Amino acid sequence: MTKQTQSTEINASPEKVFAFGISERMNEVWGEWMEGKWTSEGPVGVGSICHFDTKGTFSSFGELKGEVTEFEKNKKMTIHTKDAKGKMDATDSLVLEPTTKGTKVTYITEYKVPYSVLGKLIDKISISKHMETMHVKMLENLKKALEA
């Protein structure tokens, strides 16, 4: 299992960041990598389902299905995501902490590749670098969207 953690501070309240984070406006943040849509009814919470269509570098994963496994309004949301082909199994958490300027936003991803030794090697030299780049850019995009 590979774990990555990236953080940034955003000049917006945790309430504003969280509301944005659970909305489909996140597609503005994911832009070149994926597009997501909530497919379950009712307000977002534990058990809510989201479908993601991957693009660009991650297009080989195709459609991903995510389920909210943890939900603390204005503090944390965790989604467990899998693809139909068994290539991707990931858990992503968005964690918010109030600061004097706004909110510290931490994005945590834990994922495993389905291959044995070869998969671990590919992860170290390629996948993990792409994931890190994507997450840093996503946080930059989130900051720009919320501070605009």
Residue 121 pLDDT > 60? no
Each residue's pLDDT tens digit, 16-27:
999 999 998 888
Percent of the chain scoring above 70 in pLDDT: 85
Q: Write the CA distances from 7 to 35, 105, 132, 139, integer angstroms.
A: 22, 5, 11, 7
Q: How far apart are CA 44 and CA 16, in angstroms?
A: 15
What is the fold, at CATH topology level, of the domain defined by 2-147? Alpha-D-Glucose-1,6-Bisphosphate; Chain A, domain 4 (3.30.530)
- The confidence score (pLDDT) of residue 4 equals 87
| Residue 89: pLDDT band with limits 50, 70, 90 | confident
